[in-house]
């Protein structure tokens, strides 16, 4: 739900990360994604994802999986 | 974070920065403000919570009001004034319409890729039932990237991943009797604290949201409006700042496209299969309801026991769906992911209010130069009240952003040349640092997500969002005041990420109070503001704006009459117009 997974196998082989760095932490305005010591992205705060798809759009390898389903949505009526 | 060591926040690294103009928020408004301010002074900083061109709603937009030709200017203005039910500020509107063209053309020169037809002409369309005003098309992300590059090229400095938390004032007081002389904030990753001295501060922090995971706006939590309000600035039209949409589908996911589905022939029906447009449209020959009216009708049906409400696309052909896939790829992807075939059966829809102040209604009150009621403090875009009032949806939001940002930037830049930087009161910088960091030092208490849950429990129900009365508004106000008095002082954060959320929660909670008080004041029904006791638009007594302001120990509420007699466009007669979708809580279905 919301951000699901980042495929680390694809990140291992990612040329973009090697050349310019992974863009997905910068894509995320609500600080869900962080980069580890090797510059690989991980999901740090999944509960804050507001499903904007920018991270998945910015990853050219299709490694970031975002679902449109909203977790824990309390409808008022 | 090591809590309890030394005084609160004393172990945090502090950066002191000095600038002529500080812009808080790097959306399209903030970048226009910074770019223009730079024409008048040497040091301009834009601070943004996120990374500029990824954060904020300007990155998500698709429509911008197209430049209006001189010969259409009067008709364009009239059309917008009528759409605002005569509540629009007719001093602001001609300025927006006239200056918009220059802002638009400058952006094209910088390389902003507005959509053009094959023959090279700017592609424009009439949208939202407007006949004179037209909308041009743009992808917000490349627009913002180009603007960011232009700002950098012009020498504007960017302070990204920095959340500004409060304003510094010359007398060290909130509310201030003096002027704004800077701001404080913290880095959203490291927590480093910044004290930013500035001769002028421009607030462009966008709309006011409550982290509902809808409309990509969870990073926009009314920070600038709340910090301006705390510093003593007036707010205007807060009661008219909400808008809603059929945001939730099948009770589990959010997507857009309502207008496109209806254009393709979709129906909105209740549980009994009744078509809501046929049911409520006053003109049965040409049945039409606005998005606002359909949302109100749907909630009424649900509350009176005829829900759920559905979007019925079973009558669409395979070809219609194919065309929809072309124009709404993300929305269609959402239906695919949910395993929904739109031609199989109707899909349940739930109208929800996402946030407040997305280019309709309320925010910081500004004059024609972007000045707020506090000296040294300026505002523009969604963080300020929108003088168009209900005039949005076809790119008018962006038009106001560009023009108000430009004007605020010019005024702030010019003024900064004539004044000396006032000294910062050490006490205020220290107490604001403590206020910002204190949630990290608490051993127990509710976390920011719990506070947001409580805010949403109080502010999502129809009693607050759709069918208000004085009782429901006072009940919401009391809940929010209790939250401010009892829960916020116990708010706890485990790390810097949560500390940012904690400061955001404080801001969202702050703005609900003026929203409630303004809504209690407005004793009529207009746009998205419905009052059960006054189910009519009252053009006799209510061509007025509601203004709220922090005063010692409370909030004062005032009224400002529109100078309608001095305006060029006036209603033929001033009457009371019954609300199209009235509702009484006495008719709520039981169970
Ligand atoms: C989903 C959606 C689509 C829309 N589409 C359109 C459209 O197509 N056309 C149109 O005219 N209008 C549209 N609107 C209305 C829209 O909100 C405005 O037109 C506009 O983009 C807002 O611009 P802004 O500069 O005021 O704010 P934003 O672009 O939202 O920028 C605000 C910035 O302030 C930053 N910020 C916030 N708080 C702080 C803080 N405390 N410290 C530092 N920085 C902070 C944010 O990170 C953000 O970058 C849309 C609104 C929504 C919600
Ligand atoms: S998320 Fe995408 S861009 Fe980032 S490192 Fe992985 S594959 Fe590369
Ligand atoms: S979808 Fe948006 S909010 Fe969610 S992780 Fe990606 S960039 Fe962040």
| Residues B563-589, mean pLDDT to the nearest whole number | 95
pLDDT of residue B537: 95
Instruction: Tell me, using a 6 A CB cutoff, whether residue A11 lines ligand 2.
Output: yes
Q: Residue B255 in contact with residue B249, Cβ under 8 Å?
A: yes
Q: Which residue has the higher pLDDT, A42 or B9?
A: A42
Atom of ligand 3 nearest to the CA of A56: 6
Over residues B87-138, the pLDDT tens digits come to 999 999 999 999 999 999 999 999 999 999 999 999 999 887 889 999 999 9
Q: Which residue of A has its CA nearest to B304?
A: A77
| Residues B326-345, mean pLDDT to the nearest whole number | 89
Average pLDDT across chain B, whole number: 94
* CA B211 – CA B455 distance, rounded (Å): 10
DSSP bridge partners of B125: B135
Contact (CB<8Å) B338/A69: yes
Structure tokens at B508: 């969202």
**Ligand 3 pocket test, candidate residues A2, A22, A26, A28, most atoms within 8 A of CB:** A28
**Ligand 3 pocket test, candidate residues A33, A34, A35, most atoms within 8 A of CB:** A33
Query: Testing the interface with A: which of B50, B54, B296, B306 to mutate, by most A Cβ within 10 A?
Result: B54
pLDDT at position B1 over 60: no
Closest C-alpha residue for ligand 3 atom 3: A49
Name the band, by pLDDT with cuts 50, 70 and 90, for residue B3: very low
* CA B377 – CA B202 distance, rounded (Å): 6
Percent of chain B with pLDDT over 90: 83
Atom of ligand 2 nearest to the CA of A22: 4
Closest C-alpha residue for ligand 2 atom 6: A11
Dihedral sign from CA coordinates of B34, A33, B492, B514: positive
Atom of ligand 2 nearest to the CA of A55: 1
CA neighbor of B236 nearest in space, from B371, B78, B360, B362: B362
pLDDT of residue B544: 95
Q: Residue B231 in contact with residue B221, Cβ under 8 Å?
A: no
* CA A68 – CA A64 distance, rounded (Å): 13
pLDDT of residue B6: 58
Over residues B276-307, the pLDDT tens digits come to 999 999 998 888 888 889 999 999 999 999 99
Over residues B488-499, the pLDDT tens digits come to 999 999 999 999
Query: Testing the interface with B: which of A21, A34, A42, A48 to mutate, by most B Cβ within 10 A?
Result: A48
Structure tokens at A48: 């804050």
- Between strands B347-356 and B242-249, the pairing is antiparallel
pLDDT of residue B290: 85
CA distance A59 to chain B (A): 14
Q: How many other β-carbons are positioned within 10 Å of the β-carbon of residue B59?
A: 25
How is chain A split into domains, by residue range?
3-63
Query: Testing the interface with A: which of B207, B210, B218, B350 to mutate, by most A Cβ within 10 A?
Result: B218
The domain A3-63 is placed in CATH, from the list 3.30.70.20, 3.30.70.2660, 3.30.365.10, 1.10.3210.10, at 3.30.70.20
pLDDT at position B4 over 60: no
- Between strands B363-364 and B347-356, the pairing is unpaired
Q: Which residues of B touch A54 (CB under 8 A)?
A: 54, 59, 141
Q: Residue B18 in contact with residue B197, Cβ under 8 Å?
A: yes
Tell me if the bond preceding B175 is cis, omega within 30° of 0: yes
| Residues A23-41, mean pLDDT to the nearest whole number | 96
pLDDT of residue A1: 60
Instruction: Tell me, using a 6 A CB cutoff, whether residue A63 lines ligand 3.
Output: no
CA of A16 relative to ligand 3 center, distance in Å: 19
Cβ within 8 Å of residue B543, ≥6 positions away: B86, B87, B561, B562, B564, B574
| Residues B423-441, mean pLDDT to the nearest whole number | 95
Q: Which ligand places an atom closest to the C-alpha of B255?
A: 1
pLDDT of residue B91: 95
pLDDT at position B5 over 50: no
* CA B305 – CA B182 distance, rounded (Å): 53
pLDDT at position B9 over 90: no
Nearest CB to A26; choose among B51, B252, B461:
B51
Instruction: Tell me, using a 6 A CB cutoff, whether residue A27 lines ligand 3.
Output: yes
- For A:14-73, CB contacts with B below 8 A are 26-31, 44-45, 47-54, 67-70, 73
Structure tokens at B283: 């003109």
| Residues B312-333, mean pLDDT to the nearest whole number | 89
pLDDT of residue B504: 98
Q: Which residue of A has its CA nearest to B458?
A: A76
Over residues B364-386, the pLDDT tens digits come to 999 999 999 999 999 999 999 98
Nearest CB to A68; choose among B51, B217, B253:
B253
Q: Terminal CA-to-CA distance of chain B, rounded, Å?
A: 49
| Residues A35-47, mean pLDDT to the nearest whole number | 96
Closest C-alpha residue for ligand 2 atom 5: A11
pLDDT at position B86 over 50: yes
Cβ within 8 Å of residue A5, ≥6 positions away: A43, A64, A65
Contact (CB<8Å) A29/B219: yes
Cα Rg of chain B (Å, integer): 24
Q: Which residue has the higher pLDDT, B432 or A68?
A: B432
**Ligand 2 pocket test, candidate residues A18, A64, A65, most atoms within 8 A of CB:** A64
| Residues B3-24, mean pLDDT to the nearest whole number | 82
Q: Report the largest interatomic distance among the alpha carbons of chain B, rounded to a whole angstrom.
A: 74
pLDDT at position B2 over 70: no
Cβ within 8 Å of residue B122, ≥6 positions away: B66, B114, B115, B116, B136
* CA B577 – CA B404 distance, rounded (Å): 32
Out of B5-9, B148-152, B296-300, B413-417, least confident range: B5-9
* CA B304 – CA A37 distance, rounded (Å): 57
ipTM at complex level: 0.96
| Residues B5-31, mean pLDDT to the nearest whole number | 89
Over residues B31-63, the pLDDT tens digits come to 999 999 999 999 999 999 999 999 999 999 889
């Amino acid at each position: 739900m919301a951000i699901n997974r980042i495929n680390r196998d694809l990140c291992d082989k990612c040329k973009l990360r090697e050349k310019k760095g992974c863009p997905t932490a910068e894509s995320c305005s609500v600080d869900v994604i962080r980069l580890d010591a090797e510059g690989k992205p991980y999901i740090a705060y999944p509960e804050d994802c507001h499903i904007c798809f920018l991270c998945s759009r910015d990853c050219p390898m299709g490694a970031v999986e975002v679902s449109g389903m909203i977790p824990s949505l309390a409808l008022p009526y | 974070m090591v809590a309890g060591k030394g005084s609160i926040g004393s172990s945090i690294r502090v950066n002191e920065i000095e600038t002529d103009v500080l812009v808080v928020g790097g959306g399209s408004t903030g970048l226009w403000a910074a770019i223009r301010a730079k024409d008048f002074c040497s040091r301009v900083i834009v601070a943004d919570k996120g990374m500029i061109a990824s954060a904020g709603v300007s990155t998500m937009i698709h429509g911008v009001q197209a430049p209006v030709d001189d010969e259409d200017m009067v008709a364009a203005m009239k059309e917008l004034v009528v759409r605002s039910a005569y509540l629009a500020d007719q001093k602001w509107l001609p300025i927006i319409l006239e200056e918009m063209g220059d802002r638009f053309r400058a952006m094209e020169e910088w390389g902003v890729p507005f959509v053009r037809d094959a023959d090279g002409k700017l592609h424009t369309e009439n949208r939202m039932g407007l006949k004179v005003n037209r909308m041009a098309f743009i992808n917000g992300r490349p627009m913002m990237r180009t603007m960011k590059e232009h700002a950098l090229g012009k020498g504007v400095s960017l302070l990204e991943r920095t959340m500004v938390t409060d304003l510094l004032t010359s007398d060290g007081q909130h509310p201030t009797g003096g002027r704004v002389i800077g701001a404080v904030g913290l880095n959203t990753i490291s927590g480093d604290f910044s004290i930013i001295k500035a001769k002028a501060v421009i607030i462009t922090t966008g709309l006011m949201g409550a982290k509902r995971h809808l409309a990509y706006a969870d990073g926009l939590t009314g920070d600038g409006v709340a910090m301006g309000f705390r510093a003593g600035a007036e707010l205007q039209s807060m009661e008219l700042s909400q808008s809603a949409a059929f945001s939730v589908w099948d009770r589990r996911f959010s997507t857009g496209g309502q207008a496109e589905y209806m254009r393709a022939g979709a129906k909105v029906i209740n549980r009994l299969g009744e078509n809501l447009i046929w049911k409520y449209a006053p003109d049965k020959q040409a049945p039409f309801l606005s998005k606002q009216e359909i949302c109100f009708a749907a909630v009424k049906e649900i509350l009176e026991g005829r829900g759920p409400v559905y979007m019925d696309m079973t009558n669409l052909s395979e070809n219609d769906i194919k065309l929809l896939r072309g124009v709404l790829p993300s929305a269609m992807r959402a239906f695919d992911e949910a395993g929904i075939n739109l031609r199989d059966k109707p899909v349940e829809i739930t109208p929800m209010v996402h946030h407040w102040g997305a280019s309709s209604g309320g925010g910081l009150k500004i004059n024609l130069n972007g000045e707020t009621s506090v000296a040294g403090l300026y505002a523009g875009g969604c963080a300020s009240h929108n003088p168009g009032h209900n005039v949005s949806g076809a790119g008018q939001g962006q038009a106001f952003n560009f023009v108000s940002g430009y004007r605020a930037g010019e005024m702030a830049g010019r003024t900064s040349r004539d004044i000396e930087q006032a000294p910062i009161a050490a006490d205020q910088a220290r107490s604001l640092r403590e206020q910002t960091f204190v949630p990290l030092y608490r051993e127990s208490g509710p976390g920011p997500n719990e506070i947001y849950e409580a805010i949403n429990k109080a502010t999502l129900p129809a009693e607050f969002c759709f069918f208000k009365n004085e009782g429901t508004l006072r009940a919401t106000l009391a809940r929010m005041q209790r939250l401010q008095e009892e829960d916020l002082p116990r708010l706890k954060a485990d790390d810097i990420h949560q500390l940012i959320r904690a400061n955001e929660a404080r801001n969202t909670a702050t703005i609900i109070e003026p929203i409630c008080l303004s809504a209690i004041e407005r004793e009529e029904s207009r746009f998205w503001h419905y009052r059960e006791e006054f189910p009519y638009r009252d053009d006799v007594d209510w061509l007025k704006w509601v203004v709220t302001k922090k005063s010692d120990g409370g909030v004062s509420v005032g009224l400002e009459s529109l100078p309608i007699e001095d305006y060029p466009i006036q209603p033929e007669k001033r009457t009371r117009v019954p609300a199209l979708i009235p509702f009484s809580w006495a008719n709520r279905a039981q169970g």
